[in-house]
Amino acid sequence: MSVTQATAQSAATPAADFLPLQGTDYVEFYVGNAKQAAHYYMSAFGFQALAYAGPETGIKDRASYAIRQNKLTFVLTTPIRSNHPIADHVHRHGDGVKMLALRVDDARDAWQQTTSRGAQSYQEPQVLTDAEGEAVVSGIHTYGETVHLFIERKNYKGVFLPGFRKWENPWFKPEESGLQYVDHCVGNVGWNQMNPWVKFYEEVMGFKNILSFDDKDISTEYSALMSKVMSSGNGYVKFPINEPAEGKKKSQVEEYLDFYDGEGVQHVAMATKDIVATVRSLRSRGVEFLQVPKSYYDDLLERVGAIDEDIAPLKELGILVDRDEEGYLLQLFTKPVQDRPTLFFEIIQRKGAQSFGKGNFKALFEAIEREQASRGNL
């Protein structure tokens, strides 16, 4: 089997979407030092200060910084005392994604629909209020210690959520890098766990499996993985799920599972309308990317056909290109953004293509293996 498009799904009579998602509301990271992590995403990626919650706003046990660029919102949260579940989370996993928060019209119904189908509750629907209105937040557990929050904010006018106050610094407004929105978020799960989580997203959240890659699609001489892409009913939210596969050496997914000490978010893909400008901006501010060999560009046009971009800047910046039936895409992956070889980011520009860059897997995974080998983990 090679790539399989689940075309039968679209031919069937569409069932009512019991969990209509409006997209990713925000991504929350639990980190060791939220003040400095927020500064990194602002200075390196071009996010802007948005909101703050902490002891000064009545939240006594943690500090959270919300930052934003276009439709991307990140929250960086840290505990301020050692005896705290977030401190345990950071101790075990290092810095990583805790919440993939999803925007819904009705957070009570989202919680009811998912928990009645077997989801484990993280938080019962809770009404948060302040002078700017009310928001409703509920949540369920997914793989590892990761959580999906459901955020209903149609009756809220404040800057982020109740409990937060506006945060701004007129002296520090780093130039934006052109990042627009979350394209997809990938989870790494353990051996034999991909299909149970596919079933979870299908049965509990009403997602569909739109693409599958087996270990023959995603393998190099040394290592392999498998992946299935899950999409919400309306296609606004996409969660690929990776599982390690047997190879001569250790899969990159195994390395992640070892160092994250469990399942979790492997990468968040952020979309741009101009990947050359965005990657140039990110590189100039210190963001480090995986490097494929320059020979990748020698026969690029033979592989992907005509593209709008000049090859020279793509080659200079290390940007990869892939084509599918609908168009092409440009993409690039950062190195891990913390010292553990766990979470990284993808920068992606879609020009018609709705796939995930299968044609680049081999070159990319060989680049990842070189990094793994340099860490002594291959």
Q: Which residues in this chain contact Fe ion in the complex, by CB under 5 A?
A: 269, 346
Amino acid at 127: V
Minimum Å gap between C-beta 361 and Fe ion is 10
**Helix segments in 248-360, DSSP class H:** 252-260, 275-284, 300-304, 311-317
Closer residue to Fe ion (CB): 156 or 289: 289
Q: How far apart are CA 358 and CA 356, in angstroms?
A: 6
Q: Which is nearer to Fe ion, 140 or 230 (CB)?
A: 230
CB of 176 to Fe ion, least distance (A): 22
Q: Is 23 left (phi over 0), alpha (psi -120 to 50) or beta?
A: left
Residue 346 C-beta: closest distance to Fe ion, Å: 4
SS3 207: coil
**Which residues, 6 or more positions from 7, have their beta carbon under 8 angstroms from its beta carbon?**
none
Q: Would you say 254 or 346 has its CB closer to Fe ion?
A: 346
Nearer to Fe ion, 99 or 332 (CB): 332
C-alpha distances (whole Å) from 346 to each of 186, 208, 213, 314 are 10, 23, 18, 15
CB nearer to Fe ion: pick between 39 and 238: 238
Is residue 69 a contact partner of residue 46, using CB atoms and an 8 Å limit? yes
- Minimum distance between the CB of residue 156 and Fe ion, rounded to whole angstroms? 31
Pairwise CA distance, residues 307 & 321, whole Å: 9
Closer residue to Fe ion in complex, CB, 113/227: 227
- How far, CA to CA in Å, does 137 sit from each of 25, 118, 149, 288? 11, 19, 7, 35
Least distance CB 72 / Fe ion (angstroms): 15
Query: At closest approach, how far in Å is the CB of 59 from Fe ion?
Result: 33
Task: Determine the Cα–Cα distance for residues 14 and 254; give it in Å rounded to an integer.
Answer: 37
Q: To the nearest whole angstrom, how small is the minimum distance from the Cβ of residue 149 to Fe ion?
A: 22
Nearer to Fe ion, 103 or 238 (CB): 238
